[in-house]
A and B are shown apart, each in its own frame.
Chain A
Amino acid sequence: MSDGEPRAAAAPAGAVPAIEVHDLTVAYRTQPVLWDVDVTLPEGRLIAIVGPNGAGKSTLLKTILGLVRPITGWVEIFGAPYEKRRSWVGYVPQRESVDWDFPTSALDVVTMGLYGRIGWLRRPSRAHREIALDCLEKVGIRDLAGRQISQLSGGQQQRVFLARALAQDARLYLMDEPFAGVDATTERAILALLKELRATGRTVVAVHHDLQTVADYFDHVVLLNLRLVAAGPVAETFTSENLQRTYGGKLTVLTQAAESLLGERAAGGG
């Protein structure tokens, strides 16, 4: 599982983009879910993917991860196909994607992030457990290591998923609605974690459900509704016009909120 390139602490300008998507079309059964999507995502940023329900946001993540086969198009991660870059990518799925009634502890789940490293036929060692505990520490729930996952709150479960991805020590993190359904404290903790990741040169691409916070949390945004509507830095791209085109005009309250936010930022000097 060799990658070839060393991991840089911070990305120099003009570096290989984190993700390149070309002419991507994905269909579920016979319904197209992504149609002719072309987008390039830079390294070292916090990037949000927003769009209405059914817009294909999760599908885009899954296609990047190779979990879904596109009809046409291709994806490259740091200049190579996903199979070559697996160990550079950490995935945080939606919380609903697993059954939290599974008989296992938080520490156990985080240790799963190391399974790629541990390899066949070997057991997780003490060292692996230490790494997992450290990751739980980073998300602030080390004391819940032995807790059965069904007894965790939504925010704690989200943090377990994050810790699991952190265990992979990736360059690029793909997250599916990491802020959905978590309490305010967890939201702050997750945001702090993302900012820390960015500070160490990593890239985060997150499907985000809350338009109100896009401008505050992220510096780059991808607007998706079956097709790519727009992509770019938040200040230029997260405009009410683009939002209208993404959400088809059903957006008034949210549009106003976004506008006022952007206005505030502009007035306050960003």
Chain B
Amino acid sequence: MLDGVLSFTARNVLLGATILGVSGGVLGCFALLRRQSLLGDALAHAALPGVCLAFLLTGSKAPLPLFVGALAAGLAASLVILAAVRWSRIKEDSAIGIVLSVFFGFGIVLLTWIQKLPAGNQSGLDKFLFGQAATLVWEDVRVMAALAALALATVALFYKELKILAFDPDYAASLGLPMGRIEMLLTLLLVTVVVLGLQTVGVVLIVATLVTPAAAARQWTENLGVMIVASAGIGAASGVVGALASASVPRLPTGPVIVIVASAVLVVSLLFAPQRGLAWSRVRERRVTRRIRRENLLKDLYRVGEAEGTFARLVPAPRLMGLRGQSPARLAASARPLVGAGLVERRGDAMRLTEEGRREAARVVRSHRLWELYLTRRLELPSDHVHRDAEAMEHALTPETVAELDRLLGYPPVDPHGRPIPPPEAAETGTGPRRQAAEARP
């Protein structure tokens, strides 16, 4: 176990993983927003033959020829995908799958060929399959840092062009921006990330360094700039944790741990990010459902009271349950907060509206009946069709909207079924528009 002073290897791994995390995080945002996450996968798999050919041609494992090899292969791959999709009936997903597997297969052919060569046996190229971060030397890290810096500077310089490429390339083309070249620039940048990732996480997992931090970051913000920074941060953090974990625990490969950490961050982000978090959506939905149920109970009690001519009589629970087919538990759950708010009074198994409850219920019923009237009159829907729609809508109507409906319909006294529409809380006196409308009626 390390104490304070990291071994050289561990330091290299840490730096390498961080550099990869940051670059992948930044570029991944653009790939994600363009729905080209899996293009990154294709580019990564395609890099293998490129790297092998570079080795075969130059006999060297130095970073530069490898980068050029990966770059050439990556560009070739993206061109093939583009051509296949544009010039034949092959769809994009098939094109990516074809390129990915065929290029990789060819890469494996080259790899096994190289492994037979006298010089090739220890070429170490096969470490690019899974990554062997532990073999990173200081020279590698320096090259990675330089590449990453170059890539990030490019992103900063061409930020707005990349942004509009991701958002609305057609419009950008109409402005005269050379979208074809910008797209190629992005491909180039993605290939750079691929090259950075070859040694650290390996061909198969590079896609995760592009997609997962970006997807996680997306949940936290609606601002692209913030998203990019957050994604870089998450990528870096995953890299750090992955590197440290694999340094401390034996036989724990770095790449997979980085991916697992980033995925965990993603899951947490999906659930708990403010605004978009699924946990909060669930909470919000629950809240809305409960409100709807409470308002429905008020409405039901009102209707019963209306039918019987008095609101003072206690309504037994079975009757209320029967109105909507509710279970006793649900009825009780809806009633509890109303009782607590002083809108409903319970005596044993029966309940009734309080004075305040009656006013509140009148408000809800008013919304519902006005809305029904609107649907039948303005949209000319038959009256037996509107009840359900009104049921759904009325809970979403604001007081202003209800007042506007009232005015639009000419302050009507009854709904399509002939039932009276309760007047608003502060009913007018004197000669306001409502009184005038009422008097104008025969």
Contacts and interface: CB of A to CB of B under 8 A. Distances in A.
Chains A and B touch each other in the complex, with CB atoms below 8 Å apart: yes
A116 B176 contact: yes
Contact of A67 (B35, B163, B174): B174
A115 B172 contact: yes
B164 A91 contact: no
Contacts of A62: 170
Nearest to B222: A148
The residue in A1, A104, A105, A168 that gathers the most chain B C-beta atoms within 10 A of its C-beta is A104
Interface in B22-62: 33, 35
A116 B160 contact: no
Interface residues of B, number: 26
Nearest to A91: B174
B168 A98 contact: yes
B168 A97 contact: yes
B168 A103 contact: no
B218 interface: yes
Contacts of A66: 173-174
A80 interface: no
A112 B171 contact: yes
Given A29-B89, A115-B160, A116-B177, A104 B172 contact: no
Given A86-B176, A103-B221, A116-B176, A91 B89 contact: no
Contacts of A1: 176
A190 B157 CA distance: 36
Contacts of A99: 33, 35, 167
The residue in B163, B172, B227 that gathers the most chain A C-beta atoms within 10 A of its C-beta is B163
Interface string A146-179: 0010100000000000001000100000000000
B224 interface: yes
B392 interface: no
A167 to B, nearest CB: 10
B157 A116 contact: no
Interface stretch (A118-126, A199-207, A259-267): A118-126
Contact of B166 (A91, A97, A102, A168): A102
A112 B222 contact: no
B167 A109 contact: yes
Contacts of B35: 99
Interface in B202-230: 218, 221-224, 227
A93 interface: yes
A223 interface: no
Interface string B219-255: 0011110010000000000000000000000000000
A257 to B, nearest CB: 17
B175 interface: yes
A120 B177 CA distance: 10
Contacts of A121: 157-158
Contacts of B161: 115, 120
A83 B172 CA distance: 14
Nearest to B228: A103
Nearest to B34: A99
A104 B224 contact: yes
A99 B168 CA distance: 9
B170 A93 contact: yes
Contact of A104 (B157, B173, B223): B223
B168 A93 contact: yes
Contacts of A83: 176
B180 to A, nearest CB: 12
Contact of B177 (A87, A104, A115): A115
A211 interface: no
The contact size tier of chain A is 20 to 34
A89 interface: yes
Interface string B147-188: 000000000011011011011101111111100000000000
A123 B161 CA distance: 10
A41 interface: no
A65 interface: yes
Contacts of B221: 103
A113 B174 CA distance: 10
A180 to B, nearest CB: 17
Interface string A48-88: 00000000000000100111000000000000000100110
A97 B173 contact: no
A148 B276 CA distance: 13
A166 to B, nearest CB: 13
A103 B176 contact: no
A109 B160 CA distance: 11
Nearest to B86: A29
A266 to B, nearest CB: 29
A116 B166 contact: no
A98 B167 contact: yes
A93 B171 CA distance: 7
Nearest to A97: B170
B224 A89 contact: no
A175 to B, nearest CB: 12
A81 to B, nearest CB: 13
B222 A103 contact: yes
Given A103-B218, A112-B167, A148-B222, A65 B227 contact: no
B168 A86 contact: no
A106 B274 CA distance: 21
Nearest to A89: B174
Nearest to A65: B174
Contacts of A93: 168, 170-171
The 10 closest A-B pairs by CB, nearest first: A116-B175, A148-B222, A91-B174, A86-B176, A103-B222, A65-B174, A103-B224, A98-B168, A102-B167, A112-B164
Given A91-B170, A104-B222, A109-B167, 7 more contacts: A87-B176, A89-B174, A91-B171, A103-B33, A112-B168, A115-B164, A168-B175
Interface of B: 33, 35, 89, 157-158, 160-161, 163-164, 166-168, 170-177, 218, 221-224, 227
23 contacts: A1-B176, A62-B170, A65-B173, A67-B173, A86-B174, A86-B176, A91-B170, A97-B168, A97-B170, A98-B167, A102-B33, A103-B33, A103-B218, A103-B223, A103-B227, A104-B163, A104-B167, A105-B222, A105-B223, A112-B160, A112-B164, A115-B160, A118-B160
